[in-house]
Amino acid sequence: MQIHQTAIVSKKAKLADDIQVGPYSIISDNVVIGQGTKIGSHCVIEGNTTIGKNCEIFTGAVLGSRPQDLKYKGEKVFLEIGNGNIIREYCTFNPGTIEGNSKTVVGNDNLFMAYSHIAHDCVVGNNCIIANNGTLAGHVTIEDKAVVGGLVAIHQFVKVGTLSIIGGCSKVVQDVPPYSTCDGHPARVYGLNLIGLRRHKINLETLHGLKKAFKILFNSGLSPKHAADRIEEELRHIPEVLYLLNFVRSSQRGIARSCLIKE
């Protein structure tokens, strides 16, 4: 264990024997940190925070401080961070609240660029990228492999679908469908995230099926419910399309509307 002499580390914290802690960092009583994790200088890790293996936490990150919710009155709440995450300079992650699920959960192998904020009761999946100053309000869900651009603000309770990408400086107030490119103020759907889909080797039949589904959902003039019924009737043989339909049908805030999807 490599702990800088200026760091303040509670003897009650549960730390793997090979972690590194940089100058002037503070680790509080109830923190648990897994093997291979590196913590930079001037970081603060407090509360009931668990960090997995092989994470990298850079200068000035603050993880586990009390949620920014006026209803919070000192209840026992949690922040859970998985393995292989890169948390860059001055990121802030808050634990959950009793009104939520009592915990904020971050999955594995995510990149959080400088000044990212993950608020109370958020759930972030695996292999996501949150760019500089990306801001998640409370109760936001980010599914696997999503990309959130720099300076994006996401409203409470919004859900961002898998393999979607949100352009920088967007204001996101409704759910972002899986596999989509979304941008604007407020954010609108511009089509499929073709680059992301191709990078993840989605086959040509699936790409064509998703493109057709998007046109029905956004260009047909049908309500989301009736559009989803039509899509299911025509494209139910494609698993990714069925995933999209389930996302649309379960949306609580409504789906972000679109500019017309091009032919």
Sign of the CA dihedral running 214, 216, 222, 225: negative
Q: Which residues of 120-159 are buried (b: 16+ CB within 10 A; e: fewer)?
A: bbbbbbbbbbbbbbbbbbbbbbbbbbbbbbbbbbbbeebb
Evaluate if residue 261 carries a pLDDT over 90.
no
- Select from 192, 188, 212 the least CA-distant residue to 200: 192
Active site residue 161: no
Pairing of β 141-142 and β 48-51: unpaired
Q: Is the CB of residue 154 less than 8 Å from the CB of residue 187? A: no
Active site residue 237: no
Q: Is the CB of residue 197 less than 8 Å from the CB of residue 207? A: yes
pLDDT for the residue 185: 94
Evaluate if residue 263 carries a pLDDT over 70.
no
- For the chain, domain boundaries: 2-142, 198-250
* The one catalytic residue among 60, 64, 84, 120: 120
CATH top class, domain 198-250: mainly alpha
Cα 191 to Cα 76, 92, 101, 217, 256, distances in angstroms: 42, 32, 33, 11, 12
pLDDT for the residue 1: 87
Options 3.40.50.300, 3.40.50.1980, 2.40.37.20, 2.160.10.10; which CATH number does 2-142 get?
2.160.10.10
In the chain, the percentage of residues whose pLDDT exceeds 70 is 98
User: φ and ψ at 176, to 5 degrees?
Assistant: -100, 115
Domains 2-142 and 198-250 share a fold: no
How far is Cα 120 from Cα 96, in angstroms, rounded to an integer?
A: 4
* The one catalytic residue among 121, 150, 175, 183: 121
Per-residue pLDDT of 118-174, as tens digits, reads 999 999 999 999 999 999 999 999 999 999 999 999 999 999 999 999 999 999 999
* The one catalytic residue among 64, 134, 138, 209: 138
Q: Tokens 């057709």, residue?
A: 212
Evaluate if residue 99 carries a pLDDT over 70.
yes
Per-residue pLDDT of 203-234, as tens digits, reads 999 999 999 999 999 999 999 899 999 999 99
Per-residue pLDDT of 7-54, as tens digits, reads 999 999 999 999 999 999 999 999 999 999 999 999 999 999 999 999
Phi-psi region of 229 (alpha: psi -120 to 50; beta: other; left: phi over 0): alpha
Active site residue 120: yes
- Residue 208 has a CB neighbour count (10 Å cut-off) of 12
Over its C-alpha atoms, the chain yields an Rg (Å, rounded) of 20
